[in-house]
Amino acid sequence: MKELMVQGTGQLAWVEVPTPRLASARSALVRPIASASCDLDRRLIAGVTPFKPPFALGHECVAEVLEVGAEVTTVRRGDLVSVPWKIACGECRQCLAGRATACTAVPRHAAYGVPAGGHWGGLFAEVVMVPFADAMLVPLPPGLNPLAVASASDNLTDAWVAASQPIATREDARVLVVGGTESLGVLAVQMAVAAGAASVDYLDDNDFRRDLAQRSGAHIEPGAELNERYDVVVAATRDPHALHRGLLALAPGGHCSCIGILFEDPKIPLFGMYMRGVTLSVGACNVRPHIPKVVELVGSGQCDPLLVSPTIVNCEEATEALVQPLAKCIVVRERMTG
Ligand SMILES: [Zn+2]
Ligand SMILES: [Zn+2]
């Protein structure tokens, strides 16, 4: 089968590799039919992350189930499923507490499309092995456009959790989304609106994303004086200065969800944060428990993830499309199971 590999810095290619087989009675084989680029992917290809090639790319997709092991009960051949980015067992102490990113049954950081905890394949590949099918896969309801939830594996659900959790405990929340990565900021705007924010302001110097954020329901913040104005800040930026501004923008009792991935140590205004009693959360998103809710939000039209994924290509066009700046891209493949 063919797998999309980052072979070296800036080198992306389809490579012929052995087709994976079922690893156990609890595993499944799936065929991605709509794979989205994560906001991290272009940087992974460019070689500007701690994760070095060669490795298989891709950790967001909807797939069709090809084959399941004897003990799998929740999905069967032909089902359309969302495949979470994180490999996790669903049964260990951490998984049961909703912390799949800390799963103790697999190597630390085990995931698709990032070579941080071993090599598990990438979700642009023709066939992917899912070691814990019942714990990981989320069957999709009939009638849902699979392209619209391709990103539920990571970015879309990350945006939902980052916005909705702090909004849930703050009445009439004033929200600031600090944009900067390809899709997360705009998705966070949509999710803040869906979560019932009283207002959503968007801060970004990029015109393309500002337009998308406005169409998603945000007021575009010119950014002159932000300090202590917001109950919730979602920092979807890689810029340490933008994160710093977001932290200063928190009102007393506020919360900042930091979902842009910063590789350096940013400056954190801790004393002011202490005095205002604000919190900062950071960490890869435990998506699996939240994917059903996200699927429901997409199905009911409460968010429109395709707004940030204007480029839809086939596999031949993928290597070109995935290195383009600005927007997310979705790679599609025909179904086999009908
Ligand atoms: Zn990602
Ligand atoms: Zn586990």
Q: What residues have a C-beta under 5 A from ligand 2, the ion? A: 88-89, 92, 95, 103, 105
Q: What is the pLDDT of residues 162-172, one digit of tens each?
A: 999 999 999 99
> What tokens does 129 get?
């092995």
Q: What is the pLDDT of residues 254-295, one digit of tens each?
A: 999 999 999 999 999 999 999 999 999 999 999 999 999 999
DSSP 199: E
pTM for this prediction: 0.97
User: What is the C-alpha separation between 275 and 114, in angstroms, rounded?
Assistant: 38
Other CB atoms within 10 A of residue 224 CB:
5
**Could you tell me the distance, in angstroms and rounded to a whole number, from the CA of residue 94 to the centre of ligand 2?**
6
Q: What is the pLDDT of residues 83-113, one digit of tens each?
A: 999 999 999 999 999 999 999 999 999 999 9
Nearest ligand to the C-alpha of residue 41? 1
Question: Could you tell me whether strands 250-258 and 230-235 are parallel, antiparallel, or unpaired per DSSP bridges?
Answer: parallel
Ramachandran region, residue 228 (left: φ > 0; alpha: ψ -120 to 50; beta: rest):
left
**Could you tell me the distance, in angstroms and rounded to a whole number, from the CA of residue 214 to the centre of ligand 2?**
39
User: What is the C-alpha separation between 305 and 150, in angstroms, rounded?
Assistant: 9
Secondary structure (3-state) at 113:
coil
Other CB atoms within 10 A of residue 60 CB:
32
Q: What is the pLDDT of residues 45-88, one digit of tens each?
A: 999 999 999 999 999 999 999 999 999 999 999 999 999 999 99
User: What is the C-alpha separation between 114 and 147, in angstroms, rounded?
Assistant: 22
Helix (H) or strand (E) holding 330: strand 329-332
> What tokens does 22 get?
């079922």
